[in-house]
Amino acid sequence: MLPVRRRTAWNNKMEWNMRKTSARRQLAGRLAGNQGFTLVEVLISMMVLVALTLIFAASVPAGRKAAIVNGQYSQAISLCQHKIDQVRAVGYGRASFVELNDAGFIDGTPTTSPYSFELVDGVETFLPESTATLATDYDPAYPNQITVTATITWKNITYQAKTSTISVSAIIANVE
């Protein structure tokens, strides 16, 4: 008859260590097969990266065009507002061709409304192929006020066939 093995604390500890070592070996074996990405995972991630890069690359020129167009509109609004402020500074009684020309606010021609201010303010240096006019309208229904409208039309740099126009109007009253 075979001797019966007694369970002692030493035997339990040895058995426990053997099980732990066996579990580690199994885990290491499973991890050894998963040490990287599969070819499909790498290809999918590369396609996503390429798609995002193309989207970003396509948006850069559009953003640049939008910035140029916004800059042109901002410049045109600023020039029109400056011209209106100049006429306001002259006042109601002096908003005629002679007074505006002597003050250096409008060009020498034309001598009737709408006046040009392209050369005086150098509008062509800011906006390509531009025309800049200043119209003064006296309304007989309102004898103590004039309506002043500054208008700039130019050809957009980014869109060859498109022209843009900005108009700023103000009412100047006789406060005397």
- How does DSSP assign 7-41, residue by residue? P-HHHHHHHHHHHHHHHHHHHHHHHHTTSS--HHH
Q: For the segment 153-167, what is each residue's pLDDT rounded down to a tens digit?
A: 998 877 667 888 999
Grouping H, G, I as helix, E, B as strand and the rest as coil, residue 131 is strand
What percentage of the chain exceeds 70 in pLDDT? 79
Query: What pLDDT score was predicted for residue 49?
Result: 96
* Phi-psi region at 141: left, alpha or beta (left = phi > 0; alpha = psi -120 to 50): alpha
Query: What pLDDT score was predicted for residue 43?
Result: 94
pTM over 0.75? The answer is no
Q: How far is the C-alpha of 58 from the C-alpha of 101, rounded, in Å?
A: 49
Query: What pLDDT score was predicted for residue 68?
Result: 86
State the DSSP code for 104. Answer: T
**Under-70 pLDDT residues of the chain:** 1-20, 22-35, 159-160, 176
Query: What pLDDT score was predicted for residue 96?
Result: 84
Cα–Cα nearest to 170, from 75, 83, 78 = 83
> What residue spans of the chain are helical by DSSP H?
9-32, 39-90, 97-102, 118-121, 123-126
Query: What pLDDT score was predicted for residue 3?
Result: 61
User: Is it true that the peptide bond before 140 is cis, omega within 30 degrees of 0?
Assistant: no
Q: How far is the C-alpha of 142 from the C-alpha of 125, rounded, in Å?
A: 38
State the DSSP code for 94. Answer: G
